[in-house]
């Protein structure tokens, strides 16, 4: 168990799947897939959890991710008077912004995370921890950029 996993107990009975959705332009998707799928294959083969968090002295360009989060979970991500999002910003070094408006025809909001890759990894881990602790309330209507109406997804307790 690494120090970043402290406090998490895993056993054969524990199986959690967390799906993260991101908004991307077509050209961004192409760069992730790579020619003949080479880039995505390389990413799959790497153990991202074993990557060093500080990145050493290697200079890396900033990255921006746009996550799609159910609006009912955004309050937990922001925290009372913005305390949680401020803590995430300070501990990871990433910039995090939660959109005030819902994405069209949905009950979801965009969460923009930007910074150097190592800060992004830490930040997304913390966001995942928050959304795992506070499941969505009620039905979630997912955002579909090309559709006029979304499909209704029910939370685990419905």
* CATH 3.30.70.140 for domain 26-44+60-133: no
R_g of the chain, CA atoms, integer Å: 17
Residue 30: which H helix or E strand, with range? helix 26-33
What is residue 97's three-state secondary structure? strand
Q: Is 46 exposed, middle or buried (0-12, 13-18, 19+ CB in 10 A)?
A: exposed
- Return the sign of the alpha-carbon dihedral for residues 137, 143, 148, 151: negative
Tell me, yes or no, if the pTM score tops 0.85. Answer: no
Q: Can you give the pLDDT at residue 153? A: 53
pLDDT for 110-143, tens place per residue? Answer: 999 999 989 999 999 999 999 999 989 999 999 9
Q: Can you give the pLDDT at residue 105? A: 92
Q: What is the pLDDT along the chain (158 residues), one digit of tens a residue?
A: 444 444 444 455 566 667 778 888 777 778 778 888 888 777 777 775 445 455 444 556 788 889 999 999 999 999 999 999 999 999 999 999 999 999 999 999 999 999 998 999 999 999 999 999 998 999 999 998 875 444 555 555 44
Interatomic CA distance for residues 146 and 131, integer angstroms? 26
Q: Can you give the pLDDT at residue 58? A: 53
Q: Can you give the pLDDT at residue 147? A: 53
């Amino acid at each position: 168990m690494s120090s970043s996993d402290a406090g998490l107990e895993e056993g054969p009975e524990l199986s959690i799947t967390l799906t993260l959705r991101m908004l991307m332009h077509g050209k961004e998707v192409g760069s992730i897939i790579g020619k003949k799928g080479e880039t995505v294959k390389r990413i799959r083969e790497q153990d991202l959890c074993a990557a060093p968090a500080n990145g050493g002295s290697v200079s890396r360009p900033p990255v921006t991710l746009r996550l799609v989060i159910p609006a009912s979970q955004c309050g937990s991500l922001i925290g009372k008077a913005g305390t949680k999002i401020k803590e995430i910003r300070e501990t990871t070094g990433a910039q995090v912004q939660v959109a005030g408006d819902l994405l069209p025809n949905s009950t979801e909001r965009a969460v923009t995370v930007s910074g150097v890759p190592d800060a992004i990894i830490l930040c997304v881990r913390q966001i995942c921890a928050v959304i795992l602790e506070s499941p969505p309330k009620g039905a979630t209507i997912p955002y579909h950029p090309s559709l006029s109406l979304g499909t209704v997804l029910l939370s685990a307790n419905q």
